[in-house]
A and B are shown apart, each in its own frame.
Chain A
Amino acid sequence: DTAVSQTPKYLVTQMGNDKSIKCEQNLGHDTMYWYKQDSKKFLKIMFSYNNKELIINETVPNRFSPKSPDKAHLNLHINSLELGDSAVYFCASSLAGTGLHYGYTFGSGTRLTVV
């Protein structure tokens, strides 16, 4: 009955590879997000989708491509991985407009290590 689930939990890969991270929420939320947490614990938003529509796209290399097949899923594909992409990636969800009353619900994160 996990609310926001991410897979995989850990991902170790070589530079230059392409990888995907998947996120699913069963809360009935209509907005989903990807955040990146660096080694100093700093959290920065990358993307946000509302009902499958991209609404936030921060300054992120175009090697990162989000995809939302439906409002319960938000995936992140990364091409040509670089060492600097190593981080923990968090998926989150909320209800647009009323979501602030509940805050975001976060997944447990995907720790990506690029070697």
Chain B
Amino acid sequence: AQSVTQLDSQVPVFEEAPVELRCNYSSSVSVYLFWYVQYPNQGLQLLLKYLSGSTLVKGINGFEAEFNKSQTSFHLRKPSVHISDTAEYFCAVSDGKAAGNKLTFGGGTRVLVKP
């Protein structure tokens, strides 16, 4: 069974400061990793994904994440945040099976950007 742990439930950060959101996963098979963002009262939007290849993945809105197989981590970073980055961020893992491609989500990290 696969699982995802997001180590921080809340991350306050000042505008234009960098932010890192931590994500660790466990899985007995090859994994595919995702970060989603949920703005208030909205659905989830894909930020970026790791399927294979380069371990540094760039996504939308200036976010990037690094896949580290030995540490089973997929941390999300942004060098300079904006007020508009205030949202809930979810890390997710899939074992990539064709039938269903079930995504297992972490508990989420709330990012609050302060002016």
Contact = CB atoms under 8 A, between A and B. Distances in A.
> Are these two chains actual partners, yes or no?
yes
Interface of A: 4, 31, 33, 40-45, 48, 50, 55-56, 90, 92, 94, 96-97, 99-109
A56 B100 CA distance: 7
Contacts of B46: 102-105
Contact of A43 (B32, B90, B101): B90
Contacts of A31: 100-101
A100 B43 contact: no
Contacts of B44: 43, 90, 92, 104, 106
Interface string B88-99: 101000101011
A24 to B, nearest CB: 14
B1 to A, nearest CB: 12
Interface stretch (B61-69, B70-78, B102-110): B102-110
A96 B102 contact: no
